[in-house]
Amino acid sequence: MEKIFCLIFVVFSLQLNAQKLTKFSVHIDEERIDAPVSLSLDGLNYNTDEGKLTLYEVTPGGEKLIASQLEPGHSAKLWFFLKGESKKGSSREFILKQEDKAINAESQVLVKRNQKDLSLLQNDKPILNYRFETTFPPEGVNPLFKRSGFIHPLWSPGGEVLSRIQPPDHYHHYGIWGPWTKTHIGDREVDFWNLAKGQGTVKFAGFLSESEGEIFSGFQALQQHIDFGGHGPDQVAMNEILDVRVWNISDDIRVIDYTTTLNSPLENGIMLDAYRYGGGIGFRATEKWHKDNCTVLTSDGKTRADADGSYARWCIVEGESETEEGRSGILFLSHPSNRMHPEPMRVWPLDANGGRGDMYFEFVPIRHDDWKLNSNQNYTLKYRMVVFDGKMDSETAEMYWNSFATVPQVTIDE
């Protein structure tokens, strides 16, 4: 009898220590899958000593504690997932509390750094490396091809390396990266892409932040686009903040946000000329992929045969791999806020590289039109990569795009 009384007392004490901040509903306007969602904390007195923020989903079986993560800032947010598929027209209810209670995450994304790479890992399995140390080309190759500030390797969930750097046909290709090709500073052309021209380059300049949490982990890095041809010393033509965020959804799929913000300190800014390459997000695929084992599918139903130069909201690039599924790939998503969205693409045709058909993909916001960046103004491009093993169909890609492109309506119930 004394033990039962103690148990009741402990439960009652925990209930007293839990303070409900709000109850809210998330209304699903489009089909979604594994969607990150945020609740604005404006107007909520959450910054107290009453305990940490804990989130519960209201289910038929009662309140279920779920993982969440606070993102502080000018307008603080609480992030969480709508795991699995969420059907159009449905809604899900949640309760936010403050209490001394912890949740053990099913998996965790960690940030680790050594002398040359910042790595993101999930349960000790590598996701990607960001190379911040200058990487030189092979011995005997023009040292102008050196570069820092790029993602490689990018691994699939099953451990397949999907990216490639410094291929002999294009030593200036660096995994996942986004330099600008044809630009003008005044009447002078500067190429930050074709490094052998000696006109410019892009280099890592420092980490601005690193973060780990139950919902997302990642980093922000400053990258500088350096102009070699100005009067006097080399000058910074553009400062770029690269924000990479990995969402901790599951071990079976990787969801990675790649956000780039450009700002030119030049008095008259810089012109990004229309060209088939430049900026956005570029991807040089593994040397294993070629015309006979690699496919492309866009949101408009185009393939490798006709995707180049067309516009798309999303594009699936996949090919053979040594994983159990025998195939791996990346779904590239362009955000509706991006310039020229749906966004033009560069997709190497089937006869690329002497007929071998190697794989290169890029979202190119200046493919068909020039883009003037005015001095000291911020310009942001947002992309998401969904990295998978096996195959992905258009219906699944569309749900992932909905999860990235639009924010479901959140209604405060009380």
Please, what is the end-to-end C-alpha distance for the chain in angstroms?
39
* Average pLDDT estimate for 237-263: 97
Give the number of other CB atoms < 10 A from CB of residue 337.
10
Residue 245 lies in a domain: yes
Burial of 49 (0-12, 13-18, 19+ CB in 10 A): exposed
Q: Rounded CA gap, 311 and 299, in Å?
A: 9
CB 364 within 8 A of CB 278: yes
pLDDT of 105: 65
Last residue of a domain, one of 79, 102, 125: 102
pLDDT of 368: 96
CB 165 within 8 A of CB 174: yes
Residues 162 and 304 placed together within one structural domain of the fold:
yes
Query: Of 50-64, 214-228, 366-380, which gets the smallest average pLDDT?
Result: 50-64
Residues 175 and 41 placed together within one structural domain of the fold:
no
The total of structural domains in the chain comes to 2
Q: Which of 9, 245, 274 is nearest to 111 (CA)?
A: 245
Residues 80 and 114 placed together within one structural domain of the fold:
no
pLDDT of 148: 98
Residues 50 and 187 placed together within one structural domain of the fold:
no
Q: Rounded CA gap, 238 and 27, in Å?
A: 40
Residue 353 lies in a domain: yes
Residue 6 lies in a domain: no
Compute φ and ψ for 210, nearest 5 degrees. Answer: -135, 145
The CA distances from residue 389 to 157, 160, 244, 307, 325, in Å, are 7, 9, 21, 23, 6
pLDDT of 103: 67
Query: pLDDT-based confidence at 1, cuts 50/70/90?
Result: very low
pLDDT of 129: 98
The 10s digit of each residue's pLDDT in 146-181 is 999 999 999 999 999 999 999 999 999 999 999 999
Domain that residue 93 falls in: 18-102
CB 118 within 8 A of CB 219: yes
- Please calculate the CA angle 388-362-324 and round it to the nearest 5 degrees: 20
Share of the chain above pLDDT 70, in %: 94
What are the DSSP E strand ranges found in 169-285? 176-177, 183-185, 188-190, 200-211, 216-227, 235-247, 254-263, 270-272, 281-284
Residue 351: partners with Cβ closer than 8 Å, 6 or more residues away: 291, 357
Residues 93 and 210 placed together within one structural domain of the fold:
no
Residues 158 and 294 placed together within one structural domain of the fold:
yes
- 3-state class percentages of the chain: helix first, strand second, coil last, to nearest 5: 10, 50, 45
pLDDT at 339 over 60: yes
Q: Rounded CA gap, 278 and 362, in Å?
A: 8
pLDDT at 220 over 90: yes
CB 23 within 8 A of CB 57: no
- The DSSP bridge pattern shows strands 117-122 and 125-131 to be antiparallel
Residue 215 gets which letter from DSSP? S
Give the number of other CB atoms < 10 A from CB of residue 344.
23
Q: Rounded CA gap, 68 and 394, in Å?
A: 30
Residue 267 lies in a domain: yes
